[in-house]
Amino acid sequence: MAPLSPLLRPRDTDAVRAELRWVAAEAGVPVLFGGEVDGDACLLSEFVGTRTGMLRGLVVRASSGLGGASMVAGRPLAVADYRNASTITHDYDAPVLSEGIRSVLAVPVVVDGLPRAVLYGAYRSGAPFAGRAADLMVGSAHRLAEEMRIRDEVDRRLRLREAQQTGAANPEAVREVYAGLRTLASRVDADTGAELNRLADLLSAPVDEDLGLTPRELDVLSQIALGCTNAEAAQRLSLKPETVKSYLRSAASKLGTHSRHEAVSKARRARLIP
């Protein structure tokens, strides 16, 4: 069997850089840096406001330094006087102090209980890192964690699709992929939702006939095709059960069917859903 082709996932480091730039603009933090975690180490690769290149390429190990401690703890950690802090190891004093850094906050990006990146914010003064700036950094880490979680889920579902194309998955797996992508699309911002819907549409062959079903009617049908009840479909799509019933009635009318199962069957024959 041929190996699965690599997925065209955007670089997670680009997302890290975007969040650091956002914090710099919104909070006015003078020094920001961070990077992805691989195993038990974080590679610092993204920087805003640094004056030297000594932090670039630095590998921060778990439990070492402030960032390593935050990775292990799974929560933000800060020191107001880095040089004299007794709560952290000082494995990275040379590159940190070369930047004139005194007050530092390290925020881990945690996905499913594991650190996937670390964001750092720092001041060259001794002012404690707290208040709005700290809140914005923590919010940025949460946003980045959700982005990575969605990317992971899309990758998983696309791999299921590729496996199906090589004969390693059954049609029910494809239907789950399709319904799952539609569900994710209803929970995220417009741009990400549009991309998830585009990926979902790739799972369906071109429509054989134009029956005029709306995207939301297709979303509901895809959930019913998985065996969901109206209440379960409503929960997955963030809708009210009455709204799901309304979409089902509308879809059945357009399809000329009289039951939910008949509607699903005809939608599949028309290649509207997998």
Select from 241, 162, 212, 143 the least CA-distant residue to 2. Answer: 162
Q: What is the mean pLDDT of the chain?
A: 84
CATH topology assigned to domain 12-151 = Beta-Lactamase (3.30.450)
So what's the pLDDT on residue 264?
87
Residue range 144-173: average pLDDT? 72
SS3 content of the chain, % helix, strand, coil (to 5): 50, 15, 35
* Dihedral angle sign, alpha carbons of residues 269, 184, 229, 112: positive
So what CATH class is 170-269? mainly alpha
Does residue 202 or residue 57 have the better pLDDT? 57
Q: Residue 181 is inside which H or E element, if any?
A: helix 171-185
Q: What is the 3-state secondary structure (H, E, C) of 53-83?
A: CCCCCCEEECCCHHHHHHHHHCCCEEECCHH
The label of the residue with tokens 């402030």 reads: 66
Three-state SS for 6? coil
* Residue 96 to residue 120: CA distance in whole angstroms: 11
Both structure tokens of 213:
């079903």
Digit-coded pLDDT (tens) for 208-262 = 455 678 888 888 988 888 878 888 888 888 888 899 999 999 998 888 888 888 8
- 6 pLDDT tier (thresholds 50, 70, 90): very low
Higher pLDDT residue, 110 or 166? 110
- pLDDT > 70: percent of the chain: 86
The pLDDT > 90 percentage for the chain reads 47
* Radius of gyration (C-alpha) of the chain in whole angstroms: 24
Asked whether the beta carbons of 93 and 64 are under 8 A apart, the reply is no
How many CB atoms neighbour CB 267 within 10 A? 26
Residue limits of CATH 1.10.10.10 in the chain: 170-269
Give the separation between CA 219 and CA 225, rounded to whole angstroms. 10
Which pLDDT score, from 0 to 100, does residue 120 have?
A: 98
The Cα–Cα gap between 30 and 271 comes to: 54
pLDDT of residue 167: 52
Candidate from 21-35, 50-64, 151-165 with smallest mean pLDDT: 151-165
Backbone dihedral angles phi then psi of residue 91, each to the nearest 5 degrees? -65, -25
Give the residue from 138, 65, 151 showing the smallest Cα distance to 108. 138
Question: Where does CATH 3.30.450.40 sit in the chain?
Answer: 12-151
How would residue 45 be classed by pLDDT, with cut points 50, 70 and 90?
Answer: very high
The total of other beta-carbon atoms located within 10 Å of residue 130's CB is: 12
